[in-house]
Amino acid sequence: MIPLIFHFAYFSRIWKDFHTVCLQTCKGRATPERVIVHYDRDGEGPDWEAARDISGIEWRKVDLPKDDHLYRLDVLDSEGGFFCDLDFIFLKSFEELRRTPALIGSHQHLKLNMSLIGSEPGSDFIRALKVAEDPIDWDISTIYRVTIPRRHAFYPVTRCNKTFWSGGGFTFEKTHAVHLWEKLHPELSVPQLMETCLGDTIQAICDPKPTVTVLAGRFLSFD
């Protein structure tokens, strides 16, 4: 069973506002036992400060790795959990996804995607990826014990989905986390996300309204 530990990597980049939202939604919806950000240097600006103010996030400062993907696989090999890019919006608990020795997503036919990958410590699948010439080669998944959820679990939005980015409707009923393809959308920001069909969901997770109960003429507020 995969531990409910969520790992994120921030190596020599600019911290953006949606990275903070990624962590907030992970804490709010993915039901993590731990959330760890691996980073090589401090960021700067209000978005970075907002991320550092999120309670319960572990910030693990490390030397800049020579190979980001290999670093992720090494962490999963030794500690287990889910290693995710910082451009996911988390919508559901990962409890049902952890009941497997390893898990990896796929956004196109017969191609694995390393943006979100999980495993138990010491997974044979992870160790095979560490030495594979092509770690997204589908054939690796046919040899080792690994679960590949349907595309809608992590990649309901395709690389260039004009309907989503223009505010069109989407159904995320079977989606646990939405990948936002940051590398293809360098201008991505929280205001832009709030114009999509995820806007209300992000608002509810990141700025929840207190529950108010009226009792015998009194207002009871639960933050």
Average pLDDT, the chain: 90
Question: What confidence score (pLDDT) does residue 223 get?
Answer: 46
Q: What whole-number percentage of the chain has pLDDT above 70?
A: 93
Tens of pLDDT, residues 16-53: 999 999 999 999 999 999 999 999 999 999 999 999 99
pLDDT for residue 173 is more than 60: yes
Which of 100-109, 137-146, 156-165 shows the lowest per-residue confidence on average (mean pLDDT)?
156-165
pLDDT for residue 140 is more than 50: yes
pLDDT for residue 83 is more than 90: yes
Sorted by sequence, the CB contacts under 8 Å of residue 59 that are 6+ apart come out as 36, 37, 39, 52
Q: How far is CA 153 from CA 52, 91, 92, 172, 174, in A?
A: 28, 10, 10, 9, 6
Question: What confidence score (pLDDT) does residue 208 get?
Answer: 64
Confidence of residue 94 (pLDDT cuts 50, 70, 90): very high
| Residues 24, 117: Cα–Cα separation, whole Å | 19
Q: Considering only CA atoms, which of 100, 95, 85 is closest in space to residue 37?
A: 85
Domains and CATH numbers, the chain: 5-222 (3.90.550)
Question: What confidence score (pLDDT) does residue 2 get?
Answer: 98
Task: Specify which of 70-79, 181-190, 191-200 reaches the highest per-range mean pLDDT.
Answer: 70-79
| Residues 115, 113: Cα–Cα separation, whole Å | 6
pLDDT for residue 216 is more than 80: no
